[in-house]
Amino acid sequence: MTNIHAIILAAGKGTRMNSSKPKVLQTLADNTLLGHVLKQAKLISQKIHVVYGFGGAQVQQTINDNHINWVEQKQQLGTGHAVQQATPHIEDNSISLILYGDVPLIQRATLEQLISACKTSGIALLSVILENPTGYGRIIRDNNIIQAIVEQKDASAEQLKVCEVNTGIMAVRTTLLKKYLNSLDTNNAQGELYLTDIIASAVNDGKTISSVITTDEFEVAGVNDKTQLAELERIYQQQKAAKYMQLGLSLKDPSRFDCRGELSFGQDCEIDFNTLIEGVVTLGNNTTIAPNCCIKNSKIGDNVTILANSVIEDAVIGNGASIGPFARIRPQANIGENAKIGNFVEVKKSTIGKGSKVSHLSYVGDSTVGKGVNIGAGVITCNYDGVNKHQTIIGDGAFIGSDSQLVAPISIGKNATIGAGSTITSSAPEGQLTLSRSKQRLFPSWKRPVKQ
């Protein structure tokens, strides 16, 4: 088995991004551009070398991967020079796969084709045919055999008519790569060491250059500014939406669906427009998500209804539950089977038992709520004393009247009833009514103020 060494060129500053971050740290679908490339490289490579330059410390700190060999390019002397920095770290009996940290949508299948072609010929490059090839190096062929790559600034008028262009991505047997890199010179318009010049050297050496032509121009598109970044974000999201729909997910409007993580789902799930998925999200069977919801790192069960404008983060939602509209389920919340969390309800670090209801305008935090509990409108668990958080425990079948405050630490017994408008500071016994109110009074002489 031939080892594959990925060389990812990531030294560019990305001036047109107008950002303090290096270009490869700009994000697409909540992952850095470099992160997307690394994800594909790790699937097929035994070793990864990242050539960094501008903002190198920031790049390494953000990626934070000890399995990467970080190689510094102190001077920006061209792509050939960048690859030269990595080759001393690469064994001769391997294949070097050259990738770019600002080309985030490259796919594993394409790279595998490229490596396979390299095993046959020793050198294989990836090209694409563009309607408008301006700015790209042209693939020059003779009788369909690749002879050279000519950069835009060095191309003749006839060569500029060629629409097959170089993507920069190539696979080369490392012995050949080292040989041809050593023969590079700066005799070109930019005065740099062009990696593409190794193709002409290989042809002069009698080598046949293999090629893989991708039909997806966005797969090999680089990112140079925020406009291009936004364009690739949309392409990426469209591709994800198409994939999910092919697997059975119903999307009301695929153009307004964003997945910035990984989504798995059962049968007959439906997602309405403007839903954002982040992190790792799992949906069971027959679950529906209404418009304008945000779900992050959560497990959603079967037959769950998530109503409009709800936010769910790092939570578990049980089978048959109903969430929202305008609900916020915060981290470490576990909503039980057939429970209901209604409009403008916030649940944080709490367990809500089977069949329990928190229907309106309530806050439940640091609490354990039993089965069949009814929590009325405007109820809050007062879990914070200004320094520490405290627990509220509500037993099965309890009824908490509207506009009550449960001052933790406190326990509400099984089947207990809390009268509306109460501030409960001591534990309430099971099966009994507990309330705290001042006696209702009349003030006959009182008059409403009159505007002066």
143 assigned to a ligand binding site: no
Integer angstrom CA distances of residue 147 from 120, 207, 307, 325: 18, 10, 60, 63
86 assigned to a ligand binding site: no
Say whether 49 is catalytic: no
137 assigned to a ligand binding site: yes
Do 323 and 329 contact (CB within 8 A), yes or no? yes
Structure tokens at 117: 């072609």
374 assigned to a ligand binding site: yes
12 assigned to a ligand binding site: yes
9 assigned to a ligand binding site: yes
21 assigned to a ligand binding site: no
Angle between helices 33-44 and 108-121 (to 10 degrees): 50
285 assigned to a ligand binding site: no
Question: Which residue(s) pair with 9 in the sheet?
Answer: 51, 100
Judged on CB neighbours under 10 Å (0-12, 13-18, 19+), 256 is: middle
206 assigned to a ligand binding site: no
42 assigned to a ligand binding site: no
Do 411 and 393 contact (CB within 8 A), yes or no? yes
52 assigned to a ligand binding site: no
Do 79 and 195 contact (CB within 8 A), yes or no? yes
23 assigned to a ligand binding site: yes
334 assigned to a ligand binding site: no
Q: How far apart are CA 161 and CA 278, in angstroms?
A: 44
Q: How far apart are CA 70 and CA 79, in angstroms?
A: 16
420 assigned to a ligand binding site: yes
286 assigned to a ligand binding site: no
Q: How far apart are CA 284 and CA 449, in angstroms?
A: 58
11 assigned to a ligand binding site: yes
192 assigned to a ligand binding site: no
Question: Which of these is catalytic: 5, 81, 360, 390?
Answer: 360
Secondary structure of residue 436 in the 3-state scheme: coil
Structure tokens at 15: 């001036």
Do 234 and 162 contact (CB within 8 A), yes or no? no
Report the chain's C-alpha Rg in angstroms: 31
Q: What is the dihedral of CA 87, 217, 37, 282, to 10 degrees?
A: -160
Q: How far apart are CA 380 and CA 423, in angstroms?
A: 10
List residues forming the annotated binding site.
Answer: 9-12, 23, 73, 78-79, 100-102, 137, 151, 166, 224, 330, 348, 363, 374, 377, 383-384, 402, 420, 437
Q: Which residues are catalytic?
A: 360
Annotated binding site for acetyl-CoA: 377, 383-384, 402, 420, 437
Binding-site residue numbers for UDP-N-acetyl-alpha-D-glucosamine are 9-12, 23, 73, 78-79, 100-102, 137, 151, 166, 224, 330, 348, 363, 374
Q: From the annotation, which residues make up the binding site for Mg(2+)?
A: 102, 224
